[in-house]
Structure formats: C-alpha cells, structure tokens
Amino acid sequence: MAAVDLATHPGHLARRLQQAHYLLWNTMVSEEITSPQFAVLNALVAEPGLDQRTVGERVGLDRSTVAEVISRLIRRELLDKVRDPGDGRRYLLRLTDEGGRTHRKLTLRTARMNQVFLAPLSADEQGVFFDLIQRVADAAEGLRNPGEDRSRRPGEPATAARG
C-alpha cells in the first residue's frame, strides 16, 4: 500500500494552519484569552446585547462551545449577562469595562499577528486566500446547518446577498 500525499488533503493543511495560528496567537496575542473568546468579545463590540445563540452563530461556534466560552468570559468578568426586557426567559450579553479594554488591547495584537501569519503572501494573494477559505468555511457551516443562507457576509442584510 502506498502512502498518500497529505499536501493534497485539505484537512491536513487546515490542521497545520491551525497549529501555526495557535502558536502565533499564544506568543503574540494572549495566553489567557483564546481566539474563540476574542471572537465572542469582538461580536459583542460589533453588535452589543446579542443573546448567546446569536453570538454563536456570528462567530461560528456550536451551542456547547459558545456556552463554555461565554461562561469563561463571565468568570473573568469580561462579560455580563442581563435579562432581556422583552423576553424574561432570555439573557443578553454585554462587555464589561474590562472586557472592552481587553478587546482593544487584543485587537492591536491580532493585527500584528495577522501580518506575521500572512507574510508569505502578497496583498493580492491574501485577498484570494481569504475569499477561498471563506467559501470553504461557509460550505462547511452549510453542512452543519443545512438550508441556512451562507451567501451573505456577516452583518449583511438578507436583501444584500452577494452574487
């Protein structure tokens, strides 16, 4: 039996990219706040007062993962949960002052990290790279959530779908 060329296996390459990202994140951004935790903070900067389910949708985390991420952020006093005045069974999330400071600090660090991560690519190649991995990620989300419209960019209204 012959060995397969793992350079032709997208999952293998995605894992290698994730390893590189994890290493850069821990050395350049934060050892305390994870990339998914930053994504949750970022979603709440973009759209304050989202509920947990919507935050998970915005950042591409499943229900159990987003619940754990949010619990950790609340324990670190970076997020607060407040009861939705329109629906007493639902909680809305908001950044604490410390959560806002943490987001600002990490945003600067992530910009530097991304420069290092993408350094092997020209500006044009970076645009193509983002487009291609976004299309693959959207298709993968579609497998998890069949029937969901993934043709829109996050935050884009349904009527502004790309063609």
Q: Which helix (H) or strand (E) holds 52?
A: helix 52-59
H or E stretch covering 139? helix 123-144
In this prediction, residue 145 carries a pLDDT of 63
Please tell me the pTM assigned to this model.
0.82
Confidence band (pLDDT; 50, 70, 90) for 160?
very low
Position 78, amino acid: L
Is 34 part of a structural domain of the chain? yes
Q: Judge contact between 57 and 100, C-beta under 8 A.
A: no
Residue 116: its H or E element: helix 97-118
Nearest alpha carbon to residue 61 among 42, 83, 82: 42
Residues of the domain holding 72: 11-144
Domain-located, residue 152: no
Domain count, the chain: 1
Q: Is the pLDDT at 138 greater than 80, yes or no?
A: yes
Q: Would you report the helix, strand and coil content of the chain in percent, each value rounded to 5?
A: 65, 10, 25
Query: What is the length of the chain?
Result: 163
In this predicted model, what pLDDT tens digit does every residue of 30-70 receive, in sequence order? 999 999 999 999 999 999 999 999 999 999 999 999 999 99
Q: The domain that contains 56 carries what CATH number? A: 1.10.10.10
* Residues 131-136, mean pLDDT to the nearest whole number: 94
- Does residue 117 lie in a domain region? yes
Q: What is the pLDDT of residues 101-131, one digit of tens each?
A: 999 999 999 999 999 999 999 999 999 999 9
3-state secondary structure of 94: strand
